[in-house]
Amino acid sequence: MKMMSLKPALAFLGFFLVFPVFADSPLRPPPLPEIAASSYILQDFHSGQVIMEKQADQQVEPASLTKLMTAYVVFTELKSGRIKLEDRVRISENAWRTGGSKMYVQVNTEVQVLDLLRGMIIQSGNDACVALAEHLAGNEAAFAGMMNRMAHRLGLNQSFFVNSTGMPGAGHLSTARDMLKMAAAIIRDFPEYYSFYSEKSFIYNNIKQPNRNLLLWRDASVDGMKTGYTEGAGYCLVASGQREGMRLISVVMGTASKAARASESQKMLNYGFRFYETHQIYPANQVLKTQRVWQGTSAEIGLGLKSPLYITIPRGQYPQLQAQLELKSKIIAPFAAGSEHGKLKILLQNTVVQEQPLIALQAVETGDFFRQSIDYVLQQFE
């Protein structure tokens, strides 16, 4: 085990602290604000640190937040090349007759996938959802099966979908935490399509409809994502914004009105941005520690991280951080690149706040008989 000061390590990696430092008297966040929602969660996108939550695993109707999953499935098909944005989709009578919010497609017309996506995301068009579902899977029930397989793959363990729209249905349920995971997956996996969520309005069939996310008008840092409402769900909102490189995602479920879902989300985002800061501590695939290798074709191996390590902490507490390396006593070949050989822990006031495995950054094969014999003898004196 080895403890090291974080600041010198970061300086070596070319990291520069850009936030104010209050070394003598770190700023302590004030008590969490009261949020008028049945369930909610606020999380940093990069670090995964939850800043506040209440009943985030309670299953509820997701209403039109369902359309995040619908969009993710469509984005996946686009990325695979199985469909294209310019593909034209024939609108069935079933899609045309779909109730609830609409983008007002007309039966038996052909509409581009791009327009249907924008109608679904910006206008929350249920008709657009059904048209896309039928185009991809033949019918909405089959498409719901695609949604549920994707939910399993993404770790949305408390979610089950029976339709593409979010209209009430038996067993159609999710949670605030799962909706946050869904939003984060879109931002992470499909940045090329995320900009749809920031568009404030969309005109289709000579009808202009605004984006229902009021925060797009109120807060310049907010660039998405999705609203929802049914009588059973109440007013819901997934919102995401970015300030000074720090991205937060908030989810509120079961608020009392359109105004409330916006104001409660704003309250959460403001709290997170004001009182917390996020840093990339170490990048991925960079040597953080060199270790001796026994009985291998190489005598040393560089250890690092598979993915960048981010940390979200109360503002002003960065100087209190320390990094702790926990290494295996001996590394013996052969081993593959990516194999784990220890842990890197980040501590704040002696409490572990982030942890990642230390991995081999390259593979090492077993050495020849001479190398194995020499190292075997040397190991006896270790």
Task: Please report the pLDDT score of residue 366 as a whole number.
Answer: 85
Please write the tens of the pLDDT for every residue from 27-54: 579 999 999 999 999 999 999 999 999 9
- CATH 3.40.710.10 residue ranges for the chain: 39-275
Please write the tens of the pLDDT for every residue from 145-171: 999 999 999 999 999 999 999 999 999
d(CA 130, CA 197): 19
Task: Please report the pLDDT score of residue 186 as a whole number.
Answer: 98
User: What are the residues whose beta carbons fall under 8 Å from the beta carbon of 54, sequence distance 6 or more?
Assistant: 35, 37, 39, 40, 41
Task: Please report the pLDDT score of residue 8 as a whole number.
Answer: 35
Task: Please report the pLDDT score of residue 23 as a whole number.
Answer: 35
DSSP code for 118: H
Q: For residue 49, give the nearest of 225, 243, 305, 313 by alpha carbon.
A: 313
Q: Which structure tokens are listed for 221?
A: 């840092």
The rounded radius of gyration (Å) of the Cα atoms in the chain is: 25
Q: What is the pTM of this model?
A: 0.89
Task: Please report the pLDDT score of residue 211 as a whole number.
Answer: 97
Contact 273, 314 (CB under 8 A): no
Q: For residue 63, give the nearest of 261, 242, 205 by alpha carbon.
A: 261
Q: Nearest 5°: phi and psi at 351?
A: -110, 130
User: What are the residues whose beta carbons fall under 8 Å from the beta carbon of 154, sequence distance 6 or more?
Assistant: 72, 181, 182, 185
Work out the angle at residue 286's Cα, subtended by the Cα atoms of residues 282 and 288, and round it to the nearest 5 degrees: 70
The fold adopted by the segment(s) 2-20+283-379 is Peptidoglycan synthesis regulatory factor (PBP3), Domain 2 (2.60.410)
Helix, coil or strand: residue 131? helix
Please write the tens of the pLDDT for every residue from 233-274: 999 999 999 999 999 999 999 999 999 999 999 999 999 999
Work out the angle at residue 328's Cα, subtended by the Cα atoms of residues 376 and 283, and round it to the nearest 5 degrees: 125
d(CA 195, CA 216): 12
d(CA 378, CA 382): 7
Q: Which helix (H) or strand (E) segment is 235 a member of? A: strand 234-243
Contact 42, 272 (CB under 8 A): yes
Active site residues: 64, 67, 124
- Does the 39-275 domain belong in CATH 3.40.50.2300? no
Contact 41, 251 (CB under 8 A): yes
Task: Please report the pLDDT score of residue 376 as a whole number.
Answer: 60
User: What are the residues whose beta carbons fall under 8 Å from the beta carbon of 119, sequence distance 6 or more?
Assistant: 103, 105, 125, 127, 128, 202, 204
d(CA 273, CA 265): 12
- CATH 2.60.410.10 residue ranges for the chain: 2-20+283-379
Tens digits of pLDDT across the chain (382 residues): 444 444 434 433 322 222 233 333 445 799 999 999 999 999 999 999 999 999 999 999 999 999 999 999 999 999 999 999 999 999 999 999 999 999 999 999 999 999 999 999 999 999 999 999 999 999 999 999 999 999 999 999 999 999 999 999 999 999 999 999 999 999 999 999 999 999 999 999 999 999 999 999 999 999 999 999 999 999 999 999 999 999 999 999 999 999 999 999 999 999 999 999 999 999 999 999 999 888 888 889 999 999 999 999 999 999 999 999 999 888 888 999 999 999 999 999 889 999 999 999 999 998 676 665 665 656 666 6
Task: Please report the pLDDT score of residue 27 as a whole number.
Answer: 58
Contact 49, 79 (CB under 8 A): no
Q: For residue 282, give the nearest of 188, 335, 340, 359 by alpha carbon.
A: 359
- Give me the residues paired with residue 358 across strands: 342
